[in-house]
Structure 1
Amino acid sequence: MTYPIRPITEAEWPAFSDVLSEGFGWSGTPEQLARWKAGTEFDRTLAAFDGPVVAGVTGIHSFTMTVPGGQLPTAGVTAVSVLPSHRRRGVLTSLMHRQLNDVYERGEPIAALYASESVIYGRFGYGRAADDLTFRIDTHKSAFVRSAPQDPALRLTVAKPAERRTDLKQVYDAQVTSRPGQYERSENFWVGVLADEEFDRHGAGQLRCLIAEDERGVRGYALFRVNPTWNDGLADGELRLNELYALDPAAHALLWRGVLDRDLVTKVVAWGRPIDDPITQLLADPRQLHARWGDELWVRVVDVQRALSSRAYAAPVDVVVEVGDDVCPWNARRWRLTADASGAEVKPTEEEADLALPVASLGGAYLGAGALSAQLDAGLVREHTAGAVRALAAAMSWNPKPWAGNVF
């Protein structure tokens, strides 16, 4: 069967949100639904209709995202869901294909998303472009290395998050271009970051804030909640870190000490931190950082020529890459990539390919953390000229490692 697909109207918002409620198994509060609706770009939603029934949905946040060497307009894919009654009917495939065509026509060279299920999006050309760490630290064993940076001018301030929103935004905006994968936050996104309803607390306490500042201004902040528990009369609280951003190493170290030294807290739990978070280097006993490694951001190269020519490269490279792309046929050809410190040029070519790869592999490498060499060893990337994959992998690598930091 085929299902007509079009953007929803504002009047169709309840049906749109009902599909998400069924697909994800949650029910938002009226306040949350209003916040969500306020952040919806209705012209960038898509819904598949089975008669009057909304059978599947998706949407996009229009972002400016940091990539190696700069920023690019990016389609932040979100709200992907299909009614349980309409699974295995091609609804999702139709929505994803239509959406990628719309993104291409709009001129956005890449799309990005957080995957609720990591098995889904590879078949639409998305690659695992950023990873993260979820970890727990025993606060009683969290001493820092002796060389940890300190700045006597810095002080910690306890603050109510909503009252310091301007300062938090200033810090975030100042560092957003420093790491691939981060994106500029709209005002509505800041409302979500600072939301403090019971649903947002997940059984913990109110949202709290520490600010690192000196006489010149704010240099970093941490947002967290505390779940105060006791065992046999002994404090056993858990601090759940939501965000920690800083503009320099001393501010990073001070904020981490601030959350690790919290009274009545025996463990700090942090979800979705960058894999090169400074805390991985600051602990005197690194084995006290108990971590789980997971996928974070997935990237889809929608326009190979524009995407590859719009980022910087860590090393000179000159290769012919044959891209396979079953969904976006305009990408499926050979491209000559020539890049150095002065810039990059990407042109279609009929020359023999040095390597061949699926577009998902290109998306996985795009932000600088791709595993092209591992994919070569796995047989997912094919090399026709010896050393071509290593050269491309070295050129596309980047530090710091990519990370978005906030689910959209």
Structure 2
Amino acid sequence: MGETSPEPDAEPDAWTVRGTTAAEYPEVARVVGEALLIPAEALVGHERCDPLVEHERTLVALDGDRVVGAAASYAFSLSVPGGPRPVAGVSGVGVWPTHRRRGVLTALMRRQLADIRARGENLAVLWASEGGIYGRHGYGPASREARITVPRAHAALRPDAPRDPSLTVDLLTPEQARPALAEVHRRTLGERNGGFARADKWWPHLLRDDAHARGGAGHLLAAVASGPDGPRGYALYRVRNAWEQNMPRGQVLVTEVASTSPAARVALYEHLFSRDLTVEAVFHDMPLDDPLPDLLADREQAAVTPFDALWARLVDLPGALSERSYAAPVDAVLAVTDRAAPWNAGTWRLEAGAAGARCSPAAGPADLSLDVSHLGAAYFGRRSLSGLAAAGLLTEHTPGAARSLDTALYEPLEPYCGVDF
């Protein structure tokens, strides 16, 4: 989540930024809630939020002794190219409405980046409430997800879709299914970049089932696909009951699908499409390249609506580029600007190959001149630096340098987080 604020009108040094404690959390929640139009009572002491807050990673900005801004982060083990890495998941960012455009957010972001770097986390990620905010703080839109809507009348899967007669699908409450959910998620986590290991405290947040979470739909349900060796997949969903002119118009609202095999995923899709009294299934927050459209007998019947998901920020540029894996050798000199983290600004040489990668200070002419936000956007290997060069947003001094770096950064699957933290 993020604060809605354009460029500041005051210097960030005008504000005191410090850490906070659990005792101060109600005031932090009041500020963040007002900034994000969320009632503070929905945050303070709420089972969804309170256990998740890492107070030692929360910062506040002060006007005298009054809290006027806040920024927090979670300690994640995030899947990135090359394997899981410690990453900061930035959240809970907000500025009191009367203190916007006065440099509060900039002061918080600069202090937060310095703290994240001091913890040894080379990368930060977040979900942006508005896309125009975080680019100026060095974040780039690094992943896209999709909402997929399929009319039930056209939900038949291909005859050659993989099916396994040994699989069964059971419909359970989330609490009944929780051990299976955790096992499947752990086994599938590394298949895509962008997901984080779910500690026990995250499951109550993900399985939240109060009236606000239902949004007028029914209770949360868990469909679990199992084989002789145990759980192989699950789908979390709700059903919305609706009627129009005495005809059923219900919806299946899917929040997450995970599977350890294609056949388990097919079994789950066919269960979701089989619910009576419904006319469509809506899959929220799915990978942009989810296999569902390809499995339909008529893929054109799937309405796919993409949206930006995780934004990524190189907190320690040489560290982040050195710990990443690469799909092809690359040797490039990068001239990087970074207004919020001056330790990243300068000229760097990236050398990567089968034996690993090294990013070190360099002298001499650069192959590419770009902002740190562009490297954040490209970090998961699915955003094109060549496209940014064509738009005139970065400068290519050596012909083909952007394409060469794109080839080295490339990852075959779209990144996927699926959890708005």
Fold conserved (TM > 0.5)? yes
Q: Distance in 2 between matches of 1:190 and 1:343?
A: 35
Q: Distance in 1 between matches of 2:354 and 2:87?
A: 24
Q: Distance in 2 between matches of 1:89 and 1:201?
A: 38
Secondary structure of the residue that 1:406 maps to in structure 2?
coil
Correspondence for 2:4: none
Check the 8 A contact 1:5/1:49 in 2, yes or no.
yes
**Equivalent of 1:96, from 104, 109, 132?**
109
Tell me by how many angstroms 1:280 deviates: 2.4
Tell me by how many angstroms 1:68 deviates: 0.9
Q: Distance in 1 between matches of 2:353 and 2:276?
A: 51
Structure 2 residue 18 is matched with structure 1 residue 6: yes
Q: Distance in 2 between matches of 1:45 and 1:359?
A: 24
Secondary structure of the residue that 1:298 maps to in structure 2?
strand
Correspondence for 1:350: 363
Check the 8 A contact 2:378/2:409 in 1, yes or no.
yes
Check the 8 A contact 2:368/2:397 in 1, yes or no.
yes
Correspondence for 2:7: none
Please give the per-residue CA displacement for 1:305-333, whole angstroms capped at 9, x wherever unaligned.
Answer: 11111111111211112211111111112
Check the 8 A contact 1:35/1:188 in 2, yes or no.
no
Q: Distance in 2 between matches of 1:141 and 1:401?
A: 26
Aligned length: 408
Q: Distance in 1 between matches of 2:199 and 2:393?
A: 38
Structure 2 residue 133 is matched with structure 1 residue 120: yes
Correspondence for 1:44: 57
Please give the per-residue CA displacement for 1:255-277, whole angstroms capped at 9, x wherever unaligned.
Answer: 11111221111111122211110
Q: Distance in 2 between matches of 1:241 and 1:32?
A: 28
Structure 2 residue 311 is matched with structure 1 residue 298: yes
Q: Which amino acid aligns with 1:91?
A: V
TM-score by length of 1: 0.97
Secondary structure of the residue that 2:305 maps to in structure 1?
strand
- 4+ residue runs of structure 1 moved beyond 3 angstroms? 28-32
Q: Go from structure 1 to structure 2 and tell me whether the alpha carbon gap of 1:250 and 1:32 turns closer, same or farther (over 3 Å shift).
A: farther
Check the 8 A contact 1:112/1:299 in 2, yes or no.
yes
Secondary structure of the residue that 1:293 maps to in structure 2?
strand
Correspondence for 2:3: none
Check the 8 A contact 2:184/2:231 in 1, yes or no.
yes
**Equivalent of 2:204, from 191, 202, 225?**
191
Q: Go from structure 1 to structure 2 and tell me whether the alpha carbon gap of 1:344 and 1:6 turns closer, same or farther (over 3 Å shift).
A: same
Secondary structure of the residue that 2:25 maps to in structure 1?
helix
Q: Which amino acid aligns with 1:309?
A: S
**Equivalent of 1:25, from 34, 37, 45?**
37
Please give the per-residue CA displacement for 1:148-198, whole angstroms capped at 9, x wherever unaligned.
Answer: 111111111111111121110000011111111001112111111111111
Which runs of 5 or more structure 1 residues have no equivalent in the other structure?
A: none
Q: Go from structure 1 to structure 2 and tell me whether the alpha carbon gap of 1:34 and 1:141 turns closer, same or farther (over 3 Å shift).
A: closer
Tell me by how many angstroms 1:3 deviates: 2.2
Q: Go from structure 1 to structure 2 and tell me whether the alpha carbon gap of 1:302 and 1:145 turns closer, same or farther (over 3 Å shift).
A: same
Q: Within 5 Å, which residues of 2 pair with 1:272-291?
A: 272-291=285-304
Q: Distance in 2 between matches of 1:377 and 1:36?
A: 42
Q: Which amino acid aligns with 2:33?
A: S
**C-alpha RMSD over aligned residues:** 1.4
Q: Which amino acid aligns with 1:138?
A: P
Tell me by how many angstroms 1:32 deviates: 6.2
Q: Which amino acid aligns with 2:35?
A: G
TM-score by length of 2: 0.94
Correspondence for 1:69: 82
Q: Go from structure 1 to structure 2 and tell me whether the alpha carbon gap of 1:328 and 1:29 turns closer, same or farther (over 3 Å shift).
A: closer
- Give the share of equivalent positions with the same residue, in percent: 41
Q: Distance in 2 between matches of 1:140 and 1:277?
A: 20
Correspondence for 1:399: 412
Please give the per-residue CA displacement for 1:22-53, whole angstroms capped at 9, x wherever unaligned.
Answer: 11212244886244122111111011111232
Correspondence for 1:16: 28
Q: Distance in 2 between matches of 1:153 and 1:337?
A: 50
Q: Which amino acid aligns with 1:18?
A: R
Check the 8 A contact 1:252/1:278 in 2, yes or no.
no
Correspondence for 1:258: 271
Structure 2 residue 369 is matched with structure 1 residue 371: no
Structure 2 residue 179 is matched with structure 1 residue 148: no
Correspondence for 1:339: 352
Please give the per-residue CA displacement for 1:339-394, whole angstroms capped at 9, x wherever unaligned.
Answer: 12231122211132111111000000001111211101001121111111101001
